[in-house]
Amino acid sequence: MKNAFRDQVAIVTGAASGIGRALSQELARRGAKVWMTDIDAAAVERSAQQVPRAVSRALDVTNLEAFRALAEEVKRDEGRIDYLFNNAGIAVIGHYHEMKPGDFDRLIDVNFRGVVHGVEAVYSIMRAQGSGHIVNTSSVSGLIPAPGFTAYSATKHAVVGLSRGLRLEAQRFGVKVSAICPGFTDTELVSNADYRGIDGGRAKKSMPFAFDTPEQCAVQALDGVANNVGEIVTARHAKGMVAAHRISPRLLGFVAGLGVKRQSR
């Protein structure tokens, strides 16, 4: 499936930085035409200048009508939409009792409702085409318990649930659905996260493994998409966590509990 992306049309949200920018760069390297979108118009335009044939657009994924308009523009200009990478996300990280009023609303609006809006914007187009692939960025914390990440993890579990159900529904229309579940990745999302009751820098230093780069994540993710993998876990440490949870949830829970104590201020 090395040529899965050649001459294909892809939309990537949250493409100004991090995994979204890396996905856009790797898609272009594999021959795709990429529409890079982000709420930060200036930043995504700068990033798009480094990606061959890329088009940049400002997009707030919490605005359904804006997402629909973007999808219609792509279809009008390109004739079709082959891939949607629902990648935009935010992080508010902390223990449940430390969360502020409105934190859940923000996380749900961007991390989950933003994905729903993306599906709503492209699904009818892809069904009419009889083809297309929707790729939703979740997280390893969308597959396993993640104490200290409870609110964030809840939205990422929701993305996995949506992706699993839609994958089965969409296949009869010729539409594919996958969820990317990255492990810890060294992105702006991590460094710019809102932390509640956790020292972010201390927590990162205490990790017993190195974070992946966005570029490493993008290569693994696109290899999985090309092979139509339903849930694509990136990073060796994340694959180990998922395997451990399947074998012994209690053991993983015990280890995670020790991590919570190290993270706390």
pLDDT digits (tens, 9 = 90+) for 198-253: 655 555 445 555 789 999 999 999 999 999 999 999 988 888 888 877 886 665 45
Active site residue 152: yes
Please provide the CATH number assigned to the domain covering 9-263.
3.40.50.720
Catalytic-role residue among 83, 96, 123, 152: 152
Rounded to 5°, angle at Cα 141 from 136 and 143: 75
CA–CA separation, 5 and 225 (whole Å): 10
Residue 257 has pLDDT above 60, yes or no: no
Q: Render pLDDT for 87-140 as a digit per residue (tens, 0 to 9).
A: 999 999 888 999 888 999 999 999 999 999 999 999 999 999 999 999 999 999
CA–CA separation, 20 and 13 (whole Å): 7
Instruction: Enumerate the domain spans of the chain.
Output: 9-263
Q: What percent of the chain has pLDDT over 90?
A: 71
Rounded to 5°, angle at Cα 257 from 150 and 147: 5
